[in-house]
Structure 1
Amino acid sequence: MGEPLTIHLPDPESAIHLAGPGEENLKLLSKQTGASLVLRGQDLLVSGPEGAVNLCRRLIEALAYLWGQGRSVTSVDILTARHALDTNRTEEFQALQQDVLARTRKGEVIRAKTFRQRQYVQAVRNHDLTFCIGPAGTGKTFLAAVLAVQALQANQYERLILTRPAVEAGERLGFLPGDLQQKVDPYLRPLYDALHELMDPEKIPALMERGVIEVAPLAYMRGRTLSNAFIILDEAQNTTPPQMKMVLTRLGFKSRMVVTGDVTQTDLPEHQASGLSVAQKILHGVEGIAFCQLGRADVVRHPLVQRIVTAYEGHE
């Protein structure tokens, strides 16, 4: 056994943010390092083998920017910090923590939480067409929406267009009750959710009426040229190859497009190829197009989601 270590945290808020709800962060730190952690007020007592105590100290120091600034530490932050230590990327991890993309209406900080999420953000900033492929909960749509709203508010684009195939309804929207907006709303809800996190919900209908924000099923993109716009195509695994080609060729001057999807979750008929999978094969290596792959390590929803994704991957 090594010497026990006492880490004195500067204030009660730091202790709360480091420990997490129900001290779940301390349990994860213990699991990751093999050290035993006990929080007594503002003193964190770390004991165990010398190597475990040392690793735990380095992990806590790597996360100090977050808990020291009164920001919540999540399980994803701890796992990314561990990965950073294992791969000598601590400087890159510090930059990751400090790169604030935006703030929600409640003032909460939005940032990329993993290295691959940060690569995705940088790809969107530097390419007119970016594909992001990964499982549920990896922030594909939300991060794209954050960057799109920022660009719109900075007057870099005149319009924000959010679209996805309404395949879950078999594109037979006529069978659903209500007018067009009511019919497509359930399929576009995730896009609205992202907008509501970032913008005053009362302002969104006026922006939609003026055509500054457009949320529409993919079928309504046909025959148009989308110029001076930031376009997000969500759930792209549910496009057919002709639909994917159609929407990609809508890209006009001064426009940027982000295509997101999860190739393992297609709702298309079994015999139907996914437009996203086909595009991945055809367009890989085409200059000016970025492909980003997110995995289960990038899941930033409830910790259970990561375990669910892992279990399904193991089964399949």
Structure 2
Amino acid sequence: MRNQLAARLVRILALSAAWTSSTDPGLACEKDWLPFGSCCYKKMNTPNGWLGARHDCVWEGGDLVSIASSDEEAFVKKEMGKDRFWIGLSNLKCDEAWCQYDKEQKELTWSNVRVTASYSNWDNRQVGSSDVESCAFVNQGVSTTVRQLGKWRHGSCGSSLPYMCERSPDDCPEGRQCSLKDFGYDRVETSSCDPGEFLFNDSCYHFTWHRYRWKEAEDFCKERKSHLPSVHSEDEIKFLSGERQDKLTIPRLSRNAHQHLCNLRLFCFSQDHLKDDYCSWVGLRNRKDNFKFTDGTSTNEDVILKCKT
């Protein structure tokens, strides 16, 4: 299906040069597009997976936003607001119509192959490469005290995030239509998570900046047919602590921690204010000296909840 869509888009790209543009050539950017520097930018509010977001931008006549300077990054962040959003970095191999994963490619590169910018703003706990399929996003938020807020991170391309498209006015000369959506556009959904959620190990996670007591947080999740997260591996700890950029309440597992694939699609991860430190809840509670997660899974590990300093 995706190969058919890609082939169709390539044919339309070839035909579009003959399409008469309705855009005033004197305008730097079309309606709904914002100028900055030498390019035009459009905020896309409906979240999607990274591949679907990139596909949408290509049909708009551009690509996912690439960031070449701190000034450009400041402009993009201001327009995108407080929500985390995709940028055009991934370790997928992209052509003009589609991208696909190649396990030999580790380094994250821009989907727009014409971009050769060396500027980056990675979270210092991550590097710009990955051994698994990974796509990059800007870790926006609402707190002014979080040290890594606004840095770039990468994770599953199947998360559901908003995004911004970018294109050059030079790509839309007089006589050529910028957007190809008038030719018959079919939106491609590439995330099974709800809007704004992160995908990890086949489960979707909802992060919130609201403060809750533990029971309030669990009730918040139950309303969404989910639970506070169960944690059964060091990888899950790294994922949760990576997406929560402040001080965390996390479980520390013994060396014999077993791997566990979550059997629920959606989890929530919320925070509360404890001892003047911002900490985050997990779904573990002690019932008659028996630690058990609220999703019904149990743990035999020696679990200690603490605020990480």
**TM-score normalised by L of structure 2:** 0.30
**TM-score normalised by L of structure 1:** 0.29
Higher normalized helix content (fraction of residues): 1
